[in-house]
Amino acid sequence: MIVLIGFMGAGKTTIGALLATAIDRPFIDLDRLVENSAGCTIAQIFSRWGEADFRRREFEALQHLPAGWNGVLAVGGGAPMHPEAQLVLNSATVIYLQTSLDHVIARLGNDPSRPMLRNKNLEELFNARSVIYGALADITIWVEDITPDQIVTNLKSLLANLKPTD
């Protein structure tokens, strides 16, 4: 399984779907699985039941992926913070889509569908998460000033060059 991680607004869903097509594998967006099983949006989950409930649903969705599933998975920006999720990621090929916080803010503004953007300490959150993303990644790719198609082309060759133990 290939897992795309990175902060909100890095383009995980867009790049994940394109990459999956390019390497002929299925694509799943974990946030959509959570929304489908909850029957409401992520913003509604946060406002009705809070962040902890969302995190529980997010991890549950990750755990319920079919055993041996070998597609491309995009996970929300907070998913890799869960220590048990990190165990799942350890057995996957992890791609970190790296951006600056300025890029995120310019791209998303105050997007109401992303409750974590209203976090009071967004910069702190960004910095703390960036360290974890970097530590989990087999491949880190900078995604500013480059088109999604170019990112996918670069990722294909980076994936082909990964050693089997990576």
Query: Is-contact 106 147, C-beta < 8 A?
Result: no
Residue closer to ligand S3P, measured from CB, 23 or 116 = 116
Q: Which residues in the 41-60 window bind ligand S3P by CB under 6 A?
A: 42
CB of 8 to ligand S3P, least distance (A): 4
Tokens linked to 100: 């600056």
CB of 163 to ligand S3P, least distance (A): 29
155, HSE (Cβ side, Cα atoms, 13 Å): 34
From residue 75, how far is each of 32, 161, 164 by CA, in Å?
Answer: 10, 24, 23
SS3 146: coil
CB of 147 to ligand S3P, least distance (A): 19
| Residue found by looking up tokens 């998975």 in the block | 73
Strand ranges for 25-131 from DSSP E = 27-29, 72-74, 93-98
CB of 124 to ligand S3P, least distance (A): 13
Task: For residue 115, state whether it binds ligand S3P (rule: CB under 6 A).
Answer: yes
Using CA atoms, how far apart are residues 95 and 155, in angstroms rounded to an integer? 9
What is the separation of C-alpha 44 from the centre of its chain, rounded to a whole number of angstroms?
Answer: 20
Residue closer to ligand S3P, measured from CB, 53 or 149 = 53
Which one of 3, 4, 12, 97 is in contact with ligand S3P (CB under 6 A)?
A: 12
Which one of 11, 16, 77, 80 is in contact with ligand S3P (CB under 6 A)?
A: 77
Residue closer to ligand S3P, measured from CB, 75 or 152 = 75
In the complex, which residue's CB is closest to ligand S3P?
A: 76
List of residues contacting ligand S3P (CB under 6 A)? 8, 12, 31, 42, 76-78, 114-116
